[in-house]
């Protein structure tokens, strides 16, 4: 099985980091392929902006989901988004590893979801 772990914790000595290390050790010992997107280490930008797109279908007003689909079709998504989509399409299992902050995911994880779950690739169009 191919496993993608998206990890969102800034402290290398945290309990979440220990969980990540244990997950990788156990999964690889069982013969699974594991890839990690460590959002803090990657300095992942969680802010969805017009800069995520190399082309604009609607240049007068940002309609983010519609621009996602258009830019996906034209190969014009920003490089960081395209790389994460490639990982998502590669994996059989997705694990989101993060601490629970104020009953939700950390902002960097929410931004990853907003920017990477692209209309036409991850949802929509019958997906």
Contacts of 22 (CB under 8 A, 6+ apart): none
Contact 37, 84 (CB under 8 A): yes
Q: What value does the mean pLDDT take over residues 83-104? A: 95
- pLDDT score of 52 more than 80: yes
- pLDDT score of 127 more than 90: no
- The CATH topology of domain 2-116 is Rossmann fold (3.40.50)
Q: What percent of the chain has pLDDT over 90?
A: 91
Integer angstrom CA distances of residue 60 from 41, 71, 118, 126:
35, 16, 21, 28
pLDDT, tens digit (0-9, with 9 covering 90-100), for 111-120: 999 999 999 9
- 71: which 2 tokens? 């830019």
- Assign residue 99 a region: left if phi > 0, alpha if psi is -120 to 50, beta otherwise? beta
Domain boundaries defined on the chain: 2-116
Phi and psi at residue 115, to the nearest 5°? -85, -30
Residue 101: the pLDDT is: 83
Q: What value does the mean pLDDT take over residues 44-57? A: 96
Residue 124: the pLDDT is: 84
pLDDT, tens digit (0-9, with 9 covering 90-100), for 34-45: 999 999 999 999
Contact 5, 95 (CB under 8 A): yes
Q: What is the chain's mean pLDDT, rounded?
A: 95
- Could you tell me the pLDDT band of residue 126, with boundaries at 50, 70 and 90? low
């Amino acid at each position: 099985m191919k496993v993608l772990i998206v990890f969102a914790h800034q402290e290398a000595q945290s309990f979440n980091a220990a969980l990540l290390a244990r997950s990788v050790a156990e999964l690889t010992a069982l013969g699974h392929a594991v890839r990690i997107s460590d959002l803090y280490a990657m300095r992942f930008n969680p802010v969805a902006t017009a800069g995520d797109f190399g082309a604009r279908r609607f240049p007068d007003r940002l309609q983010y989901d519609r621009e996602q689909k258009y830019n996906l079709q034209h190969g014009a998504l920003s490089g960081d988004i395209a790389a994460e989509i490639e990982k998502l399409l590669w994996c059989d299992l997705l694990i989101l590893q993060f601490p629970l902050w104020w009953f939700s995911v950390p902002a960097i994880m929410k931004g990853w979801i907003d920017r990477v779950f692209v209309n036409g690739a991850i949802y929509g169009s019958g997906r």
